[in-house]
């Protein structure tokens, strides 16, 4: 008996969720446009009688403008052409080149995204964390976006409690993106 009860409730739950997914995108956009037009008509019915006729005329004009805008957007999208050289990729390679000229000093490098309100590193969003060996480090990383501001911090293992900070922004004019860090 319990098995039948569980089976019955699961079938009812599944059928109540519905199927969906077979409608096209155009019917969804038409439904939203018609529902917004009917929402405008409902808003005008709550006003007094003298302004009701003026508002109903303007709501029908708004509905016509929405229909024209959707048909214009379809025409624009069909005429869209993309240049063959554009590969639809936003990622790029960044060469991080760090050199410490004070000799064989032990140091550690953090390269992170910059915090919004300061020039300090956001340690939750680091792209490179490595020790600097023999005063040099060269590492290539791939970034996904061009609007990322980076902060490099060199932590010296001596008694210096504050790191050395360096800033980097994307350079549109450069063929190869490079973050040079010199101390």
**Is 15 inside any structural domain?**
no
Q: Each residue of 34-54: pLDDT tens digit?
A: 444 444 444 444 444 444 444
- Residue 138 belongs to a domain: yes
Any domain includes 3:
no
Write out residues in the chain with pLDDT < 50, as ranges.
Answer: 24-59
Q: How many domains does the chain have?
A: 2
In a domain, 11, yes or no: no
Bridge partner residues of 164 (DSSP)? 154
pLDDT number for residue 38: 42
The confidence score (pLDDT) of residue 108 equals: 93
**Residue 42 pLDDT:** 43
Does this model's pTM top 0.85? My answer is no
Q: Would you state the pLDDT for residue 31?
A: 42
Query: Could you tell me the two tokens for 9?
Result: 């409730």
Structural domain contains residue 129: yes
Angle at CA of residue 113, ends 108 and 117, nearest 5° = 115
């Amino acid at each position: 008996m319990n098995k039948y009860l569980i089976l019955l409730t699961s079938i009812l739950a599944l059928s109540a969720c519905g199927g969906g997914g077979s409608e096209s995108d155009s019917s969804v956009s038409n439904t939203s446009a018609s529902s917004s037009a009917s929402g405008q008509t409902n808003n005008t019915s709550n006003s007094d009688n003298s302004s009701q006729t003026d508002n109903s005329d303007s709501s029908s004009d708004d509905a016509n403008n929405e229909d024209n805008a959707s048909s214009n957007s379809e025409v624009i999208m069909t005429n869209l052409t993309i240049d063959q050289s554009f590969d639809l990729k936003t990622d790029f390679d960044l060469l991080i080149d760090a050199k410490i000229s004070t000799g064989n000093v032990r140091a550690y490098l953090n390269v992170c995204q910059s915090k919004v309100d300061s020039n300090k590193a956001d340690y939750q969003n680091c792209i490179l964390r490595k020790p600097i060996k023999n005063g040099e480090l060269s590492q290539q990383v791939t970034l996904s976006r061009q609007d990322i501001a980076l902060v490099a911090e060199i932590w010296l293992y001596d008694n210096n409690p504050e790191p050395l900070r360096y800033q980097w922004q994307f350079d549109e004019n450069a063929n190869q993106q490079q973050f040079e860090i010199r101390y």
